[in-house]
Chain A
Amino acid sequence: MRAIYHLTKTETMNIIAIIEELGKTDPEVYERLDERRNAFKRFTRVGGKIAATALPFALGGFFKKAYAAPPATNKVLEVLNYALSLEHLEYQFYLVAASKTTLFPSTAAAGAFATIRDHEKAHVDFLSQAIRSLGGTPVTANAKGYDFTGGQGSNSGPFATVFTNYATMLAVAQTFEDTGVRAYKGRAKELVEGGDLLTAALNIHSVEARHASHIRQMRRAAGHSADVKPWITGNSSNIASTAVQNSYNGEDNVTQGGVNITTLPGASGNISVTAATEAFDEGLTPAQVTNIVTPFIIP
């Protein structure tokens, strides 16, 4: 059954009157609406087939898009450049690490690093392109380079053997991947209702988590850490050095959305603290991330 509904001339005029009223207090109303032309395109397309009862809802959604979401372009650019600066760090790390062919115990291990290197490069390119397409300027890799020993330019930081010792190299890789996951997560909120850009950020975020999982498996397989799992347990780094503990602090949270997970029923008894912490990864703030990566950046 098809219900046909035509807006009367009066109704159309009322809609226009509303927009004109908005224009009195917000001279940019038309730009706002025009910026959201895709939303409006959808509205008019649906407009041909919309149920009469749904019309006020559709209009409400339309105005909401014009005034509430999506996030402002400069906010999006800031988040994207933040992500890009981390991707530069990761890519530059894997660029060197993957070239240390004699360190790897197997071709599979070397292959994994090459795969991850290529993904990080793809992320750098993708984010740079996205930033340009929004009219922004993508940040470049740090001009003075990076110190992957974590020595802030001294090249004798806590991971002095980063490119000469396989265990150290994997430990740094794990830290970067887990930090990357947490960094994206920490800012996803700011892209709420961000459409394609939010989806892209989420699509990168989960790839970083896949990397983290694999690096952790490599560490266990190589016998560097008997306890390390593909996921993060409590706030443990499973890395002997305390230098990267900041990458794991806060991961021991067991309360999500006001619900203490350990009060919920598990397979037998309540869900354990271990499972509660492993089942949810936690976000990091920009200040926390800056604190974590500063030792790896040459000032």
Chain B
Amino acid sequence: MIKPESTVDSTEQGEPSQASSVSRRKFLRYAGLSGGLVAAAAACSKSKNDNGFNSGAYMGSGDIGILNYAYALEQLEAAFYTQVALTPYSGITALETALLTDIRDHEIAHREFFKKALGNSALPSLEVNFSSVTFGSRDSVLATAKTFEDLGVSAYNGAGRLIVNSDYLELAGKIVSVEARHAAYIRDLISNGSFADSSVVDASGLDKSRKPIEVLTMAKPFIKTALNASDLPSY
């Protein structure tokens, strides 16, 4: 069933490439095809159940899925900072008020951008759950903000490789650095100098990246609406 190598090697370079036939054999071995059969057994229901996000608002697949994933996170952040601005924590300074309001407006801009860009494919508005946050407490608000910002950075960093359309990748890049600016600011409000400490930046000077399912799992306590991420790209 496997044709003689000469059919592949009839090139005009006059060198019926030895390399080509070697790599061909290697390839076939790799592919598991040399034995003649690829055994395929499906565990279709299992793979969809595994991630815990298999029913609810459908996020979509491919780049749309990734954009909806970003849209979900931006909805969460925008809702959080909207509440922070409505019910400022005790002892908030004028500068903190100004900059936390800026962050709110940035997150709203991100949210509205994704909503507009996704059009009919957009997730619905998500219901959030901030019952674990004490909005009157600076510590509670900033700790939550730090979680969201660092999570957002790692989410965009991890999702970049899943994006196929380079224009979307560029857009994600335009947003993630702003999230990183937020993250550093919030961290410095909690503890000056912790903007890029070893809890987020490793020995190679690299920030964290997380897979979508890891991020969704961490965000889940804050999102009431069930999400269906079964077709979301992953790696």
- Asked if B180 is at the interface of the complex by the 8 Å CB criterion, the answer is yes
Which one of B40-48, B127-135, B140-148 is at the interface? B40-48
**Cβ–Cβ contact A185 & B184, under 8 A:** no
Known: A108-B193, A283-B173. A209 touches B161 (CB 8 A): no
- Asked if A297 is at the interface of the complex by the 8 Å CB criterion, the answer is no
Which one of A48-56, A134-142, A159-167 is at the interface? A48-56
**Cβ–Cβ contact B185 & A213, under 8 A:** yes
**Cβ–Cβ contact A230 & B206, under 8 A:** no
**Cβ–Cβ contact A40 & B193, under 8 A:** no
- Asked if B220 is at the interface of the complex by the 8 Å CB criterion, the answer is no
Which one of A93-101, A148-156, A261-269 is at the interface? A261-269
Interchain CB contact (< 8 A) of A210 among B99, B108, B116, B196: B196
Task: Say how far A101's CB is from chain B's closest CB, in angstroms.
Answer: 16
Chain A residue nearest to B10 in the complex (CB): A24
**Cβ–Cβ contact A122 & B205, under 8 A:** yes
**Cβ–Cβ contact B173 & A188, under 8 A:** yes
Distance of A276 Cα from B108 Cα, bound (Å): 10
Interface flags for A168-183 (1: CB within 8 Å of B; 0: not) read 0000000000000100
**Cβ–Cβ contact A257 & B171, under 8 A:** yes
**Cβ–Cβ contact B174 & A210, under 8 A:** no
List of B residues within 8 angstroms of A112 by Cβ = 193, 195
List of A residues within 8 angstroms of B179 by Cβ = 206
Chain B residue nearest to A37 in the complex (CB): B30
Distance of A52 Cα from B175 Cα, bound (Å): 39
- Asked if B85 is at the interface of the complex by the 8 Å CB criterion, the answer is yes
Interchain CB contact (< 8 A) of A206 among B40, B171, B176, B204: B176
Known: A20-B7, A265-B112. A271 touches B105 (CB 8 A): yes
List of B residues within 8 angstroms of A229 by Cβ = 99, 102
- Asked if B217 is at the interface of the complex by the 8 Å CB criterion, the answer is no
Q: Which residues B35-58 have CB closer than 8 A to chain A?
A: 36-45, 47
Chain B residue nearest to A64 in the complex (CB): B164
Interface residues in B, total, Cβ within 8 A? 90
**Cβ–Cβ contact A231 & B106, under 8 A:** yes
- Asked if A189 is at the interface of the complex by the 8 Å CB criterion, the answer is yes
List of A residues within 8 angstroms of B97 by Cβ = none
**Cβ–Cβ contact B184 & A210, under 8 A:** yes
Tally of A-B Cβ pairs under 8 angstroms = 301
Interchain CB contact (< 8 A) of B40 among A50, A69, A126: A50
**Cβ–Cβ contact B180 & A279, under 8 A:** no
List of A residues within 8 angstroms of B20 by Cβ = 23, 27-28, 30-31
Chain A residue nearest to B25 in the complex (CB): A30
Distance of A206 Cα from B183 Cα, bound (Å): 10
**Cβ–Cβ contact B209 & A55, under 8 A:** no
**Cβ–Cβ contact B196 & A12, under 8 A:** no
Distance of A184 Cα from B169 Cα, bound (Å): 12
Could you write out 5 A-B pairs with CB less than 8 Å apart?
A33-B27, A210-B195, A214-B184, A256-B171, A281-B177
Residues of A within 8 A of B (CB): 1-7, 9, 12-13, 15-16, 20, 23-24, 27-28, 30-31, 33-34, 37, 40-41, 43-44, 47-52, 54-55, 69, 108, 111-112, 115-116, 118-123, 125-126, 181, 184-185, 188-190, 192-196, 198-200, 202-214, 217, 229-231, 256-257, 259, 261, 264-267, 271-272, 275-276, 278-283
Q: A48-B40, A52-B40 are in contact. List 13 more A-B contacts (CB 8 A).
A: A33-B27, A41-B30, A49-B40, A49-B47, A50-B41, A119-B201, A188-B173, A203-B208, A209-B178, A210-B201, A264-B112, A267-B82, A275-B108
Closest 10 A/B residue pairs (Cβ) = A122-B205, A209-B180, A213-B184, A275-B105, A209-B177, A203-B206, A279-B109, A264-B112, A51-B42, A279-B106
Residues of B within 8 A of A (CB): 1-3, 7-11, 17, 19-20, 23-24, 26-28, 30-33, 36-45, 47, 82, 85, 99, 102, 104-110, 112-113, 116-117, 153, 156-158, 160-161, 163-171, 173-185, 188, 192-193, 195-197, 200-201, 203-209, 235
